[in-house]
Amino acid sequence: MFISLIDGTYTDGLMLAKVNSINEQKNEVNVTLLDVDDLGSVIPVKDLELRLPPFDDSISDMLKSSSHVIIFTEGFSDENNSTIISAINLTDDELNREKENMIKFPGDKSKKLI
């Protein structure tokens, strides 16, 4: 798995996601948690409603201009209503490189971006 497995251990709260929508009135973002399999296919895992930090518009602004992101949540949880504490834009080139790495090194987690 792409983000959810690091050295064979599941790591909550560190997610590869596709941004679906942002609700600024509710201070929430809807994302699809994604994974990349050993064949390089991007697989949707589940949809999540995550909270945005109440006094930090920088994350919301970044999510508006991103299609794929790496998200870190408070308490390292990948459940609904978790609060995003940080996000990193993932370009299409970076996503494609990760997919290529999964094909070249399917069992070697050390060749991954994260």
Nearest to 42 by CA among 88, 93, 94, 1: 1
Q: For residue 32, what are its two tokens?
A: 């699809």
Tell me, what's the pLDDT at 10? 40
Nearest to 95 by CA among 66, 65, 53, 56: 66
Q: Where are the alpha helices (DSSP H) in the chain?
A: 57-64, 92-104
Each residue's pLDDT tens digit, 82-111:
899 999 998 889 888 878 877 887 665 554
Give the CA dihedral 27, 56, 91, 26, nearest 10 degrees. 0
Backbone dihedral region of 107: left (phi > 0), alpha (psi from -120 to 50 degrees) or beta? alpha
Give me the residue spans of the domains in the chain.
5-111
Tell me, what's the pLDDT at 5? 40
Architecture per CATH, 5-111: Beta Barrel (2.40)
Spatial distance between the Cα atoms of 7 and 14, rounded to a whole number of angstroms: 14
Report mean pLDDT in 10-residue bins for the chain, 114 residues: 39 79 93 86 92 89 91 77 90 85 68 50
